[in-house]
Amino acid sequence: MMMMMMKIITMMMMMMMMKIITMMMMMMMMMMKIITMVMMMMMMMMVMMMMMMMMMKIITMTTIK
C-alpha cells in the first residue's frame, strides 16, 4: 500500500514538473515573440529617424542653394 502511494505521489510530482516546464517554455516563447516585436519596432523607428534626418539634410541643402 505504501509503495502504491509513493508511486502515485511520484507520478503526480512528475506531472506537475512537466506542466511547470511546459508553462515555462510557453512563457519563454511569448517573451521571445515580444522581444522580437520590440526589436522590429525599434529598427523601424531608427530607420524612420534616419529617413527624417536625410530629408532634413536634403531640404537644408536645397534651401541654401
Q: What is the pLDDT of residue 65?
A: 67
Give me the tens of pLDDT residue by residue for the chain, a chain 65 residues long.
678 888 888 999 999 999 999 999 999 899 999 889 999 999 999 999 999 998 888 888 887 76
Q: Taking the C-alpha atoms of 24, 28, 30 and 31 in order, what is their torsion angle to the nearest 10 degrees? A: 130
* Domain with 51 in it: 7-64
The C-alpha cell at 35 is 522581444
Asked whether residue 39 is assigned to any structural domain, the reply reads yes
Would you say residue 41 lies in a domain?
A: yes
Looking at the domain assignment, is residue 16 inside a domain? yes
* pLDDT given for residue 18 in this prediction: 92
Residue 36 lies in a domain: yes
4: which 3 cell numbers?
Answer: 502504491
Query: For residue 1, is it within any domain?
Result: no
Say how many domains are in the chain: 1
Q: Is 50 inside a domain boundary? A: yes
Reported pTM: 0.43
- Please give the pLDDT value at position 16: 92
